[in-house]
Structure formats: structure tokens, C-alpha cells
Amino acid sequence: MMQSRYLPLIATALIFVIAYALCYLQYPNILSTRVVGNLFTDNAFLGIAAVGMTFVIISGGIDLSIGSVIAFTGVFIAAMLANTSLHPLLVFGLALTISASFGAMMGGIIHYLQMPPFVVTLAGMFLARGMALVISTESIPVKHEFYTFIQESFYRLPGGGRITTIGALMLIVFIVGILLAHRTKFGANVFALGGGIQTSKLMGVPLASTTIGIYAISGFLAGLAGITFSLYTSAGYSLAAVGVELDAIAAVVIGGALLTGGSGFIAGTLIGVLIMGLIQTYIIFDGTLSSWWTKIVIGILLFVFIIMQKGFLLAASAPKK
């Protein structure tokens, strides 16, 4: 049983290694530190949001609001910086407070009103996107020396590659997420909740605080992803990040988490994000393929992992002879 639990993670890691090796055979430069650094930078906002989604999916829930929260955060920050003299760090703090509170509110509704997470977060998706559109329907550029400083700060790798500030931030979020999910009581409660509410009650899991905490983390990380996206694009746009919630779900599933809850790995989500980034990088290197091939390959991978997960579950539940 313990070995079968790790099989999806092992399969994800093997697929990433094999895919990278095949890309390297065709385009050797894809292994350069420049490409590796860009892989982290270009997928930083998705990776950060996907960590929050991992907690939600492990608990047996879903969060459809993260793309809208990313857009709202970006527009909110851009509007505040354009119309006030507040420092970006203070605005970032306000944005994170709002996004975490928004997530906690959805978690409270899910628990106390016993509403399905799909319905509650769907309402949250429309609400956050609507609030973003109320602030502005146009793209708002961000021009601030702090943004310039962050964008020009990086750690130089051998070979000319760069680990940028937002790339490093994504890695830090994953490290903290791994520790929180797999080394704390809260993380154990999240896994227990994914195994079933009745079972969690018998185990003494504090359902209210755990559920609210899970969605508060998801909202907080969606806000942090919005800050990252703002730093990446130097703008806020109310229609940005449409469909990011689906990309995050795809990364979590490719990373080996079960959509039914109770099983998953934060490290697996990181590999899932990198696989999706590798597909996009390969398309750029090729130059002849449409960007829509990214969605096609991700769809194929999702089908493969869903079938693999079903096989792993059947194997784990089969009676031992």
C-alpha cells in the first residue's frame, strides 16, 4: 500500500526525465541553464497557484476561483500604485489579506452551509472576476522603481542562466508547501479530510478550522500568484489568467494527486508544472507547431494519468493472496 502510494509520483518524475531527454536529443540547447532558468520564471505564477490547488484537491475539494483572484490581485495592485503613493510592499500586503480572507470566506461557506466546493468556488470565480472588471476593464501598466529592482534582481547560474526573484519565490513556496503538507499536523488533517468527512470526525480532525485554512491558503497563494504575475508582466488586466485554474488542476493531477482526495504530493505538482512548461518550451524551439498543441498534449497526459491512477487504486485495493 505504501509503495503504491508513491507510484504516481514516480511515474510523473520518469515521464519528465524521459520527455526532457527526448527534447535534448532533438534540441541540445534545451538543457542550458538559460532555458532551465526561464522554465522557472515563466511558470512561477502557475506553480504558486498550483500549490494552493494541491492542498484543496488533497482535501477532496476544488477551487475554481484562483484565476479570477490572480486577475483581481493584478488589477488591484496596478490601480493602487497608479492612484496612490503607497509602497508596493504595502499594497502587496493588502492584496494578500484580501485574497486570503476571500478564500477563508469560501471555506467557511463550504463547511458551515455544507455546500459543494465546486458551486461555492464557481460563485467566487464570478465574484472575483467581476470585482476586477469593476476596477478597470483596460490593462493598467505598472511603472515603479521597486518593480524595476525586483525584475532586475537574479541569481546567475553557470552558463548564463538566471534564477529570477519570482522563480526563486516559486521554489520557496514549494518548499514551504512540502513541509506544511507532509511534516505538520495541519497537513495530516488535510489528508485525513480527503479520506472522508465521517472518518475525519472519528479521527478528531477539526473540520471547520481545517477547511477554512485550506481555502485561505489557496486564496493567499492565488493572491501571491497575482503579485508574481504582476511582476512578470508589469501590468494588471481584469481578463488575465483566464483558465489558469484548469491549468493548476492539470498540474496537480499530472503530479500524481487523486481528484477524489486523500492522496497527493506537493513535489509532484512541481514536476507537473515543469512538464507543462517543458511542452511550451519545446513548441517554441520547434517554431512550426501551434501553441494549441500544449493543450492537446496536456489533455493526453491527463487521460494517461487518470487511467494510471485507476490502475494503482485497483492494485492497492486488490486482496492479497
Q: How far is CA 89 from CA 15, 77, 85, 152, 210, in A?
A: 39, 10, 12, 17, 29
Query: Can you list the domains of the chain with their CATH numbers?
Result: 2-317 (1.10.3470)
pLDDT value of position 306: 81
Q: List per-residue pLDDT tens for the chain, 321 residues long.
A: 445 677 888 888 998 999 999 999 999 999 999 999 999 999 999 999 999 999 999 999 999 999 999 999 999 999 999 999 999 999 999 999 999 999 999 999 999 999 999 999 999 999 999 999 999 999 999 999 999 999 999 999 988 899 999 999 999 999 999 999 999 999 999 999 998 888 888 888 999 999 999 999 999 999 999 999 999 999 999 999 999 999 999 999 999 898 888 889 999 999 999 999 999 999 989 888 777 888 888 888 888 888 877 766 666 566 655
Residue 105: closest CA among 92, 123, 91 = 123
pLDDT value of position 314: 62
Question: Which helix (H) or strand (E) is 154 found in, with range?
Answer: strand 154-156
pLDDT value of position 16: 93
Burial class (CB in 10 A: 0-12, 13-18, 19+), 168: middle
DSSP-derived letter for residue 303 is H
- Does the global pTM surpass 0.75? yes
CA angle, 122 then 125 then 130, to 5°: 135
pLDDT value of position 295: 84
